[in-house]
Structure 1
């Protein structure tokens, strides 16, 4: 009936005049026009896949950073440190007496401290689980849907925590926030790396660390300010800080589908035309641009292996021509270094170090802790301006030497009696210096590097496991530090110094350079070279644009193999 009313009669194809004219006159013409408009709109919608962003090129990159990257990693930093500054507030201990260690003694205090440790750990365990879940969801649903789901989880968790009147509700909320944060930490760097050009990829992804530190800094100063709330409104002294990140979750959920989906993921799942549209917007070129066509072909070539044999988790533990296990080990090692160099130790436990080791009062300790995190945030800009100039390897090695030296100096300065004013000043100085070196190499660059060296068919899986490894060692540090500081004191810092000094050695011999190379070129460096030393050497030449030397070396290798084969044939004939 509707077809006949619009003038389409019995024809199944819209726009073909009906053999039975419609009694509604020129309504048929309107129907044809409406159908054509609908068809054009539908085609446009399919191609863009809900990518309604009005931006292109550089403006689109800025929008991605401001609306997705910034909220994601501010949530990461803010929520990770969100409880530490609240534990001694009067209304907090009144609401949650089960974790009150400020007004208890003896076995009760010990029991409450254990429960407090479990409460703090729920976030980390949730984040670990969230990161691991991306192994299965990352390539099924795509990057944007994963980010939206993660933002929704953080929103639910933040509402539960800020409205809690009982500890179980608070713990459930922290676990859900952790789940969302884990998904964000594993997905957003991959999405960034896959959407960024080789020239600016380092700058874009290293911003992750800057925003993590901004989250830490905001949490520290907001908690300090809220702690001054007195009288009948004391409840707001801890509910308000827990509710503030809700705004970042809402921004993230509102904006993620305005951004383009990863072109590399779209090509992987066979949606090449959508990938072409998104890549043209990211590069600000027309759809028929030759550079765009070349990049699409390069991505398809890199994916050829996965079209023949579907990638599986087990592939990460095999070498083969793609050196997957080697790449996997690099990702695991880098995230291990990030935590076991002491980064999280100083960020989370700076107030404890100031108060217990240096015997400073609570207010002074809070102010100094906020100051160290603000300094760490400002120091993050060093990596932003240097990572695409000096390369990833140089920053990792410089950061490792600096962190190791500061930890060693801190072990010495904190070993003096607490009434030694000079030693206390030196300790504060080295904590500030440590927070200068950390963000240069290990607060953003580590997430970037793992996304860069992983092949596209296993990029999300490798990023998920390496990020889960980050959260695993985070959990170890969180649980071990209070006990270690209480029992071995300054000797604890020697462990982190030793691990930090291992960084420059391992990076020099095993970590290839990725600066200035497309993700497909990085993939080719691993495939075309047989040993770690050869991979590192080729990557350094490629990052300098020294293509001729690479070709020359390859030709020499081929000539050498031909000569050896010729000699062997002559020997066999004799």
Structure 2
């Protein structure tokens, strides 16, 4: 039976993960409004280049917000403030988009840029908050909900769009405005709930060395005083080593060889997430399905079902990511996505097209099934696992900035691909998907040879996987504390997170005091 504090830990993680609903909704809302004839008429039938530019404006705003502002805001003001600022900007930009003057597509484009900027900030703070609060033995499981909430955002958006598409005659131009305005729901909710959440203990210690604030935060999310004190000491030791031996600021991004190594790997993984084909499907599935179906309502329904199954498929990460590991999921996902893209491209290009420009019903159903199969492989692997891996591999001194930079590599890749994809799709049709098949094979090979496994590793000890020093051990030496390997009296040397895992499974433990507690208490 989970304890009340473990339930609270899940609660605060779900609130932080709700920031991903913003991303999922917005990635889908522009896709949805493109299928509205009222939206097209409202903005005077934008060209393919303009449609690509509107999509790119979001990613440009997100790149600027996440790369240059997300990390500093999360580090200076705190993770909660970063999420709050991002949600506030999403609210403002939603009104800008919804109430753009008729024919003024520049105003709509500005709203897209602002919303990208806000989400760029929120998407840095959210995963860091979860990673720094979640116990290491269930961190992957909790972080899987980050990507799950992306699918929840898409789910809400596409079903709202489908409902509006069934009442176009009565709604008029509000068939697309309703889809846009519903985006207010989640950021308003997150802003209200942020006040019930503690700050992260690692931020309290890094910002101003506030041990008591960090201790109080840990007491709200850890079951025993032993766990609180042991984790508190580990964080202090890691921070001491980073400050004395490396750098307490962002210069460690290029000074520390192990940080540089994981930064480059994370750049490739995050850019790869968007060039698997998923980024283009998110933004242009309406245009893609228009080559197969002629009914706008049918396309909206398929998008809604896609988002619904996306939630179910992402749930696979919850039970697989800590069991089989991050690397296994990425390799299997890459191979599965490659096969799906290869087959869907072959089916579409090698079957006849009917007089109206659509495919026969069996072929159309087969294409939809294959694209759903692609999502089955993508969601738990390159969807959820990339965020998990990125948020957990960096040391405290660079975590916020590094996660911000890596996350925005998704938008850099997305901006490049989505700017030319409408033209590529128009001129080449489904032959474009052969390209995605080849890319997915390369990503699977890269992961197999270059990406270390990180499941159940403690955040403060992650550096050892990349050829770096153990920050906890080195920090303990600098502070004159005993080795961390002599961890828990009476527990056969088991670590605090292992004891928490035993406790969660319902097995008894004797709750003896830890050596670290005695050390910390002696320094108070």
- TM (normalized to structure 1)? 0.76
Offset of residue 56 of structure 1: 5.3
What is the aligned partner in structure 2 of residue 370 from structure 1?
304
Structure 2 distance, partners of 1:525, 1:181, is 31
Tell whether the 8 Å contact from 2:35 to 2:296 is kept in structure 1 after alignment.
Answer: no
Instruction: Say if 2:314 and 2:384, in contact at 8 Å, map to a contact too.
Output: no
Instruction: Give the counterpart of 1:274 among 213, 218, 222.
Output: 213
Q: Distance in 1 between matches of 2:430 and 2:91?
A: 39
Is 1:433 the equivalent of 2:373?
A: yes
Which of residues 197, 200, 203 in structure 2 aligns to 1:259?
Answer: 197
In structure 2, C-alpha distance between the alignment counterparts of 1:78 and 1:447, rounded to whole Å: 18
Q: Do the aligned residues in 1 keep the contact of 2:128 with 2:400 (CA within 8 Å)?
A: yes
Q: Equivalent residue for 1:350?
A: 285
Select 2:268's aligned residue among 329, 333, 345: 333
The answer to whether the Cα contact below 8 Å between 2:198 and 2:217 also exists between their aligned partners in 1 is yes
Deviations 1:404-424 (A, max 9, x none): 111111221121132474544
Partner of 2:500: none
Measured after TM superposition, the shift of residue 435 of structure 1 is: 0.9
What does residue 380 of structure 1 align with? 314
Q: How many angstroms does 1:88 deviate by?
A: 4.4
Give the whole-Å Cα distance in 1 for the aligned partners of 2:330 and 2:456.
17
Q: What are the residue-to-residue correspondences of 1:552-563 with 2, within 5 Å?
A: none
Match of 1:77 among 6, 15, 24: 24
- Name the counterpart of 1:149: 85
| Matches of 1:290 and 1:205, distance apart in 2 | 25
> CA deviation digits over 1:509-538, x for unaligned, max 9?
2212111221112234435589xxxxxxxx
Q: 1:394 to 1:361 in 2, by over 3 A?
A: same
The 5 A counterparts of 1:512-531 are 512-527=452-467
Q: Indicate the residue corresponding to 1:95 in structure 2.
A: 42
**C-alpha distance in structure 2 between counterparts of 1:330 and 1:305, whole Å:** 24
Find the aligned partners of 1:152 and 1:69 in 2 and give their Cα distance: 16
Counterpart selection for 1:404 from 333, 338, 344 = 338
Q: Tell me the distance in 2 between the aligned counterparts of 1:366 and 1:436.
A: 20
* Aligned pairs for 1:430-509 within 5 A: 430-509=370-449
Residue from 43, 51, 73 that aligns with 1:116: 51
Stretches of structure 2 lacking an aligned partner (at least 5 in a row): 471-492, 495-524
1:232–1:340: structure 2 CA closer, same or farther, 3 Å change rule? closer
Query: Does the 8 A contact of 1:413 with 1:424 survive in 2?
Result: no
Q: How far does residue 251 in structure 1 lie from its aligned partner after superposition?
A: 1.0
Compare CA radii of gyration and give the structure with the larger one. 1
In the other structure, the counterpart of 1:324 is: 259
Q: Residues 383-431 of structure 1: CA distance to partner in whole angstroms, max 9, x if unpaired?
A: 1111111111111111111111111112211211324745444322211
Contact 2:293 2:299 in 1 (8 A): no
Shift of 1:195: 0.5
Contact kept in structure 1, 2:326 and 2:385, CA below 8 Å: yes
Is the 1:351–1:366 Cα contact (8 Å) retained in structure 2? yes
The aligned counterpart of 2:6 is 58
User: Within 1, Cα distance between the matches of 2:54 and 2:283?
Assistant: 15
Q: Using a 3 Å threshold, how does the CA distance of structure 1 residues 362 and 504 change in structure 2: closer, same or farther?
A: same
**Counterpart residue number, 2:484:** none
Which whole-Å deviations, capped at 9, do the CAs of 1:481-515 have from their partners, x for residues lacking one?
Answer: 11111222333212211121123322222212111
The match for 1:178 is: 116
Q: Comparing 334-343 with 304-313, which one deviates more in the overlay?
A: 304-313
Contact (CA 8 Å) 1:68, 1:255: kept in 2 or not?
A: no
Greater than 6 Å deviation, 4+ residue runs: none
**Higher RCO structure, 1 or 2 (CA under 8 Å, sep 6+):** 2
CA distance in 2, matches of 1:238, 1:361: 17
Could you tell me how far 1:298 is from its partner in structure 2? Answer: 1.1
Match of 2:233 in 1: 297
Please give the secondary structure, in 1, of the residue aligned with 2:398.
Answer: helix
By how many angstroms is 1:231 displaced? 4.7
**Distance in structure 1 (CA, Å) of the matches to 2:221 and 2:93:** 33
1:261 deviates by 0.9
Contact 1:373 1:435 in 2 (8 A): no
Structure 2 length-normalised TM? 0.83
Pair 1:407–1:187, CA change in 2 (3 A): same
Q: How many residues align?
A: 459
Contact (CA 8 Å) 2:65, 2:116: kept in 1 or not? yes
The CA distance in 1 between the partners of 2:446 and 2:397, in whole Å, is 26
Structure 1, residues 288-323: CA drift from partner, whole Å, max 9, x if none? x23322211111121123322534444323454xx1
TM-align CA RMSD:
2.2
CA distance in 2, matches of 1:290, 1:366: 53
- Structure 2 match to 1:209: 147
Give 1:284's aligned residue.
223
- The CA deviation at 1:235 is 3.2
